[in-house]
Chains A and B, each alone.
Chain A
Amino acid sequence: MALRELSSLEKYLGLKKPNKYSTQGDKKVPVLQSNNGAPVAGLVTIACHLVKQAQRPELLGDSAESRAVVQQWLEYRVARLDVCTKDDIKITLKDLNLYLQDKVYLAGNQFTLADIFMYYGIHPLIVDLAVQEKEKYVNVTRWFDHVQHYPGVRHHLPLVVVLRNRVYTSGHH
């Protein structure tokens, strides 16, 4: 899973030469063996490394504040979303829905690495949602639809259908 995400990220960043990864431990933490130094371990760490390699620092936020927000969501992704149990799903989606109410991207108006990795991470949850639930978490699905159509992001993941108009407006049934 993580390795596919990293290879999708490489493609998005336009890195010509694919890196070689290994995994370590029970949780299969990805490890990048770089040519000129110590190995880099962990999904977020490697991702940030790749972004620097591709010289796209704006993906990590272009102000001190947005850099902090990006790091916060990257951490949320691995620390919360990835260990989300079935019971937590609704709470997670509800919180995220509220957060995204007045935002285009997670860090505001700017597309960042946080959007890419939250999209990868939340994809399995969104795939399983019924039409009615997608409408319930309308801000999440709006953001999700936007990111999955963002040029070059989707790669290994199937497209999720998101209706543009609301069909459950009345609350009947």
Chain B
Amino acid sequence: MTKEEVQGAAQEEAQAQSKKALKKQQKEAEKAAKKAEKQAKLAAEEQSTEEDDFAKERYGVSAMVQSQQKLDRLLVRVQDLTADKAEQLIWVRARIHTSRAKGKQCFLVLRQQQFNVQALVAVGDRASKQMVKFAANVTKESIVDVEAVVKKVEQKIESCSQQDVELHVERIFVISQAEARLPLQLEDAVRPEGEADEEGRATVNQDTKLDNRVIDLRTTTSQAIFRLQSGVCQLFRDTLTKKGFVEIQTPKIISAASEGGANVFTVSYFKTSAYLAQSPQLYKQMCICADFDKVFCVGPVFRAEDSNTHRHLTEFVGLDIEMAFNYHYHEVIDSITDTMVQIFKGLRDNFQTEIQTVNKQYPSEPFKFLEPTLRLEYTEAVAMLRQAGVEMGDEDDLSTPNEKLLGRLVKEKYDTDFYVLDKYPLSVRPFYTMPDPSDPKYSNSYDMFMRGEEILSGAQRIHDAQLLTERASHHQIDLEKIKAYIDSFRYGAPPHGGGGIGLERVCMLYLGLHNVRQTSMFPRDPKRLTP
């Protein structure tokens, strides 16, 4: 190849390249032109729509509520939207549960807590085409203020809680806009498991629900569960207050483990370490020694058990009772069981809607109880289990499967989901448990069961400092660390007993749910610390 030839080839190449580049440029220019055209068209359209939109003032995204103005506007609650409000013009604040646009109409389901109502935006003299389009494009779960006329409907709206009326929207403003993509769909989260299998539709698994707890808590099921839980606490307080109990608050940071050292959380406490309370046990007893006679306490308790089961949490709400009695600790049992029965009755009578809402997703039999509450002795229970083919020693603790089986046997024989098991073997109970006077192998202690699972553990406590010291040494507890506790019994202590209930477990078992995380708002377990 000569020099010229080389040059020629290079030139050719360059020419070819520039040709390519030219083509590219041309194409890009075309694209840009098209884009500009489109934009112009869109802008024109927008302008024209803005121009002919007579309802411009009737919808939109409101400025952020920063408390600029005190509007004298009554926001009606969705649950109050009934037939007697027909033909009234009202304001509602609610979430967009679903929206469905259909030609010149847009149907919205507005939700407020567990209630919802159908709303309709239709093109007419009040709403423009643009307004309907806007309403249809509001993202799910956004919060809106709506002005509407309440209209009676001819056919009941089966899918809503307010079945007799619908709202004809006159104005709609977005107060808070939700992101378009939700981490889970509310309908999927409330779908009963069986139904999803049949229709091939999705359900949301528990971890996803808990990871996005804020959204999951909006479901009708969650709303009902936690309303009922609040009811349990309230009934507990009301019943005990009526019985002359005093509510106390106890410290949760304590210096010594109250029930065996293995399952406590240690926290660093300045230059030393402290523990998170496993129960307010020692404190409520000290209150008894301080003449408070009957006390109860509602608060968090902590268990550092590394058990990942359907019924264990590392932090839960304890409902604790302690009371002085006259001659026999059965006075305490009677008092506690009566409190439980009052709670069950209160729930049955006042929370039927909530119970049924939960039942829709998690079907279960109604909770049954007897009055007075059934009380079985441990030896009877062991005999029942043995009769059913279970091999166990007289002083063995009940294993979880045996506990459940016993619950079944009791239900079959006595038709009750709630019973007391009395006189546990002394060896399986904590050191402060009073031994049985007639047989030192047993103790004056009891557990209470709902649907075959333990919800309360209690006992008569030792109120004699000397016996208490003996039992503590027997359990190899460092006497130095519980000195203050033992000392409180030296200056005259009344005989007393009590027990502690787990709030989450009571709710779970009353509703026949299968996992305690469902009844804990923000559950804590060995694997979950958030949200």
Question: Would you call A131 and B512 a contact (CB within 8 A)?
Answer: no
Bound CA span A167–B407, Å: 9
| Interface check A35, CB cutoff 8 A | no
| Interface check A83, CB cutoff 8 A | no
Bound CA span A167–B388, Å: 11
Which stretch of A59-67, A115-123, A158-166 is in the interface? A158-166
| Interface check B19, CB cutoff 8 A | no
Question: Would you call A131 and B412 a contact (CB within 8 A)?
Answer: no
Residue of A nearest to B405 (CB): A131
Counting chain A CB atoms within 10 Å of each CB, which of B387, B389, B452 scores highest? B389
Cβ contacts B390-404/A at 8 Å (1 or 0 each)? 100000000001001
Out of B365, B409, B451, name the residue touching A167 (CB < 8 Å). Answer: B409
Would you call the interface of chain A mostly helix, strand, loop, or mixed?
loop
Bound CA span A130–B512, Å: 22
Bound CA span A170–B365, Å: 8
Residues of B contacting A172 in the complex (Cβ-Cβ under 8 angstroms): 364-365, 451, 512
| Interface check A168, CB cutoff 8 A | yes
Bound CA span A160–B387, Å: 11
Question: Would you call A163 and B364 a contact (CB within 8 A)?
Answer: no
How far is the CB of A161 from the nearest CB of chain B, in Å? Answer: 3
CB contacts under 8 Å to A, within B250-308, are none
| Interface check B348, CB cutoff 8 A | no
CB contacts under 8 Å to B, within A127-173, are 130-132, 160-163, 165-168, 170, 172-173
Question: Would you call A165 and B365 a contact (CB within 8 A)?
Answer: no
Cβ contacts B406-428/A at 8 Å (1 or 0 each)? 00110110000000000000000
Residues of A contacting B411 in the complex (Cβ-Cβ under 8 angstroms): 167
Bound CA span A172–B404, Å: 11
Bound CA span A167–B389, Å: 14
How far is the CB of B479 from the nearest CB of chain A, in Å? Answer: 43
Question: Would you call A165 and B412 a contact (CB within 8 A)?
Answer: yes
| Interface check B514, CB cutoff 8 A | yes
Residue of A nearest to B512 (CB): A172
Known: A131-B388, A163-B388, A167-B411. A173 touches B404 (CB 8 A): yes
Residues of B contacting A173 in the complex (Cβ-Cβ under 8 angstroms): 404, 451-452, 514
Residue of B nearest to A134 (CB): B389
Question: Would you call A161 and B388 a contact (CB within 8 A)?
Answer: yes
Out of A160, A161, A168, name the residue touching B408 (CB < 8 Å). Answer: A168
Residue of A nearest to B386 (CB): A161
Known: A172-B365, A172-B451, A172-B512. A161 touches B404 (CB 8 A): no
Residues of A contacting B388 in the complex (Cβ-Cβ under 8 angstroms): 131, 161, 163
Counting chain B CB atoms within 10 Å of each CB, which of A130, A162, A163, A172 scores highest? A172
Out of B389, B452, B514, name the residue touching A131 (CB < 8 Å). Answer: B389
How far is the CB of B258 from the nearest CB of chain A, in Å? Answer: 31
Question: Would you call A161 and B389 a contact (CB within 8 A)?
Answer: yes
Residues of B contacting A165 in the complex (Cβ-Cβ under 8 angstroms): 412
Bound CA span A70–B345, Å: 58
CB contacts under 8 Å to A, within B415-459, are 451-452
Counting chain A CB atoms within 10 Å of each CB, which of B390, B412, B514 scores highest? B412
Residues of B contacting A162 in the complex (Cβ-Cβ under 8 angstroms): 389
Question: Would you call B408 and A167 a contact (CB within 8 A)?
Answer: yes
CB contacts under 8 Å to A, within B365-396, are 365, 387-390
Bound CA span A170–B512, Å: 12
How far is the CB of B397 from the nearest CB of chain A, in Å? Answer: 18
How far is the CB of A141 from the nearest CB of chain B, in Å? Answer: 11
Residues of A contacting B408 in the complex (Cβ-Cβ under 8 angstroms): 131, 167-168
Residues of B contacting A161 in the complex (Cβ-Cβ under 8 angstroms): 387-389
Residues of B contacting A163 in the complex (Cβ-Cβ under 8 angstroms): 388-389
Cβ contacts B217-244/A at 8 Å (1 or 0 each)? 0000000000000000000000000000
Bound CA span A132–B401, Å: 10
How far is the CB of B81 from the nearest CB of chain A, in Å? Answer: 37
Residues of A contacting B404 in the complex (Cβ-Cβ under 8 angstroms): 173
Residue of B nearest to A127 (CB): B389
Residue of B nearest to A166 (CB): B412
How far is the CB of B227 from the nearest CB of chain A, in Å? Answer: 23
Bound CA span A130–B401, Å: 9
Residue of B nearest to A169 (CB): B412
Residue of A nearest to B389 (CB): A161
Bound CA span A170–B412, Å: 11
Bound CA span A130–B514, Å: 20
Bound CA span A163–B388, Å: 6
Residues of A contacting B452 in the complex (Cβ-Cβ under 8 angstroms): 173
Residues of A contacting B389 in the complex (Cβ-Cβ under 8 angstroms): 131, 160-163
12 of the cross-chain contacts (CB-CB < 8 Å) are A130-B405, A131-B390, A131-B408, A132-B405, A161-B387, A163-B388, A167-B409, A168-B408, A170-B365, A172-B365, A172-B451, A173-B404
What residues of chain A have their CB less than 8 Å away from a CB belonging to chain B?
A: 130-132, 160-163, 165-168, 170, 172-173
The 10 A-B pairs with the shortest beta carbon distances in the complex, nearest first, are: A161-B389, A167-B408, A167-B412, A170-B365, A131-B405, A131-B388, A163-B388, A167-B409, A165-B412, A168-B408
Taking A131-B390, A163-B389 as known contacts, 11 extra A-B pairs with beta carbons closer than 8 A to each other, sorted by chain A number, are: A131-B388, A131-B405, A131-B408, A160-B389, A161-B387, A161-B388, A166-B412, A168-B408, A170-B365, A172-B451, A172-B512
